[in-house]
């Protein structure tokens, strides 16, 4: 049966050469789409190619273009010989068309005024009563961010600390420091964060000797054509300090002069309206007293600082009932391990926590590297949070769109956060991950506990839901992962 269909497809393919465009629909057909992603720019117009094979007139068929997660509300629906008004995704209204020529078997989708939300996977779906075929086309976008902003601060030991930052990039850009001669300066202090639209900000700092003639340049780039550069002369910040002191002295003098004037005025009023002014003065003093006693505003948590977030550590345990059947939970809910059995389970290979969070700050630590089993290291794992209503079956991908925010490791591929597309994070070695969920700031941060350093922050964790910590010891990987007390 199967080979019969194959043979038919082969035969049809062989005859395609001689088939002319207006041929009626054959019994079976396939779709031809590009292998790699289609790259576009913001606000541009782009075509997602999709063609029938063999080529024939598609006009009597149904053509449906939809986002992988949204087949019921497609970007475009063509049926009964025309493009349908409903049910379609309103975000695409007036921006989509089929321009390739349906009569020639070309069902390519043209999308105009591309927005950031348009990035992602599209499905080209063609059907008649007897047969259907679908194929995926990935739309990716290069977005050039802001010009880098450079600043200088004292770095201690006679050196200066130069900081470079730039925002609004996609995908992850490369940041390069160069000296006056154009030689690249190696630097590991590079930090990426994402905003609510999934655009990335990058920042980096560098210690160097102050100079009045040797500038430094900072370049942020995606490619040769898509790059932004800024330069700075790394002056000693001392010059700034002097300027600041002068400003301070001037301000103090001004303040003295002002208070003298106020005193004189009050005295003057004292003499004219004695009774009334007494009480007024009292009130004035009272206000002054109060403002001095006022507690300083409780400082927000500096997300980059691990020493501050570790204070929110909680006792988290895994909920065995939520575990994929190939995952064994032991040590009173502290350890998860993949054991080879029952691989028919269609859920994601992870386990959720017993605890869920909808407000305030929460921190936990997971040991993700265990050398006690076998002789090689961990092959894969992921940790993070899941929305409490997130889809449990592995038919949906583990992405923020589906309610998952995670940091993952895979041997050979390295460390990634699950933005869509995934963002690689510059971590070399990681054995204990610190996870900090700040429901009030709608952010989720990951830390390298051994080096006490920040790895990545998601800023778009929407908290109209509750979140559960999620733990995956990886698939077909005997190494366990453990929540640390």
Binding residues for ligand NAG (CB under 6 A):
39, 43, 47, 49, 51, 99-100, 106, 108, 113, 142, 153, 155, 161, 163, 171, 205, 207, 222-223, 225-226
**For ligand NAG, the closer CB: 172 or 472:** 172
66: phi then psi, degrees, rounded to nearest 5: -140, 160
**For ligand NAG, the closer CB: 165 or 482:** 165
**For ligand NAG, the closer CB: 99 or 136:** 99
**For ligand NAG, the closer CB: 75 or 336:** 75
Least CB distance to ligand NAG at residue 40 (A): 9
**For ligand NAG, the closer CB: 43 or 290:** 43
Least CB distance to ligand NAG at residue 288 (A): 36
Least CB distance to ligand NAG at residue 222 (A): 4
On whether the CB atoms of residues 452 and 308 are closer than 8 A, the answer is no
On whether the CB atoms of residues 136 and 123 are closer than 8 A, the answer is yes
Q: Which residues pair with 139 in a beta bridge?
A: 38, 120
In the numeric block, the tokens 């598609």 are attached to 58
**For ligand NAG, the closer CB: 50 or 318:** 50
**For ligand NAG, the closer CB: 99 or 315:** 99
On whether the CB atoms of residues 228 and 220 are closer than 8 A, the answer is yes
Least CB distance to ligand NAG at residue 86 (A): 25
Least CB distance to ligand NAG at residue 219 (A): 13
Least CB distance to ligand NAG at residue 69 (A): 24
Burial class (CB in 10 A: 0-12, 13-18, 19+), 446: buried
By Cβ distance, which residue is nearest to ligand NAG?
100
Least CB distance to ligand NAG at residue 116 (A): 12
On whether the CB atoms of residues 33 and 137 are closer than 8 A, the answer is yes
Distance CA 139, CA 68 (A): 12
Least CB distance to ligand NAG at residue 281 (A): 47
Least CB distance to ligand NAG at residue 207 (A): 6
Least CB distance to ligand NAG at residue 122 (A): 14
Least CB distance to ligand NAG at residue 431 (A): 23
Question: What are the residues whose beta carbons fall under 8 Å from the beta carbon of 40, sequence distance 6 or more?
Answer: 46, 114, 139, 140, 141
Nearest to 234 by CA among 217, 254, 248: 217
**For ligand NAG, the closer CB: 106 or 322:** 106
Distance CA 470, CA 475 (A): 15
On whether the CB atoms of residues 467 and 357 are closer than 8 A, the answer is yes
**For ligand NAG, the closer CB: 102 or 407:** 102
**For ligand NAG, the closer CB: 65 or 338:** 65
Least CB distance to ligand NAG at residue 187 (A): 12
**For ligand NAG, the closer CB: 33 or 329:** 33
Nearest to 384 by CA among 405, 398, 363: 405
Here the tokens at position 371 are: 């050398």
**For ligand NAG, the closer CB: 199 or 396:** 199
Phi-psi region of 332 (alpha: psi -120 to 50; beta: other; left: phi over 0): left
16: phi then psi, degrees, rounded to nearest 5: -45, -40
**Cα–Cα separations (whole angstroms), residue 477 to 338, 371, 470:** 6, 12, 17
């Amino acid at each position: 049966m199967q080979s019969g269909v194959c043979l038919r497809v082969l035969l049809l393919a062989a005859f395609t050469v001689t088939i002319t465009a207006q041929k009626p629909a054959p019994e079976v057909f396939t779709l031809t789409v590009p292998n790699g992603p289609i790259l576009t720019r913001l606000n541009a117009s782009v075509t997602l190619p999709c063609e029938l094979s063999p080529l024939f007139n598609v006009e009597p068929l149904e053509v449906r273009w939809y986002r992988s997660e949204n087949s019921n509300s497609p970007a475009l629906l063509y049926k009964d010989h025309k493009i349908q008004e409903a049910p379609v995704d309103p975000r695409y209204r007036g921006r989509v068309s089929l321009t390739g020529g349906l009569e020639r078997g070309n069902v390519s989708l043209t999308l105009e005024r591309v927005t950031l939300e348009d990035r992602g996977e599209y499905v080209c779906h063609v059907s008649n009563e007897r047969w259907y075929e679908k194929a995926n086309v990935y739309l990716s976008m290069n977005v050039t961010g802001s010009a880098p902003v450079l600043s200088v601060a004292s770095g201690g030991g006679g050196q200066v600390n130069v900081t470079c930052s730039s925002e609004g990039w996609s995908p992850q850009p490369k940041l390069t420091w160069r000296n006056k001669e154009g030689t690249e300066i190696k630097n590991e202090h590079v930090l990426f964060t994402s905003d609510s639209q999934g655009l990335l900000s990058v920042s980096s700092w560098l210690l160097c000797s102050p100079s009045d003639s040797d500038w430094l340049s900072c370049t942020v780039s995606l490619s040769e054509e898509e790059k932004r550069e800024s330069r700075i002369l790394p002056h000693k910040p001392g010059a700034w300090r002097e300027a600041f002191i002068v400003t301070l002295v001037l301000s103090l003098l001004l303040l003295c002069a002002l208070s003298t004037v106020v005193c004189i005025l009050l005295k003057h009023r004292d003499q004219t309206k004695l009774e009334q002014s007494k009480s007024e003065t009292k009130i004035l003093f009272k206000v002054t007293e109060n403002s001095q006693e006022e507690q300083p505003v409780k400082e927000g948590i500096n997300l980059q600082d691990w020493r501050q977030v570790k204070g929110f550590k909680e006792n988290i345990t895994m909920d065995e009932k939520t575990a994929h059947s190939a995952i064994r939970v032991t040590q009173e809910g502290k350890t998860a391990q993949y054991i080879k059995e029952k691989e028919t389970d269609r859920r994601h290979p992870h386990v959720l926590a017993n605890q869920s969070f909808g407000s305030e700050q929460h921190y936990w630590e997971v040991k993700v590297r265990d050398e006690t089993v076998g002789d090689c290291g961990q092959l894969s794992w992921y940790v993070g949070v899941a929305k409490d209503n997130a889809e449990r079956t592995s038919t949906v991908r583990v992405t923020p769109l589906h309610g998952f925010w995670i940091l993952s490791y895979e041997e050979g591929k390295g460390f990634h956060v699950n933005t869509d597309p995934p963002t690689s994070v510059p971590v070399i070695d990681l054995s204990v991950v610190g996870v900090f969920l700040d429901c009030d700031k709608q952010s989720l941060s990951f830390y390298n506990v051994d080096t006490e350093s920040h790895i990545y922050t998601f800023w778009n964790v929407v908290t109209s839901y509750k979140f559960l910590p999620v733990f995956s010891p990886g698939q077909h990987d005997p190494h366990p992962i453990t929540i640390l007390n």
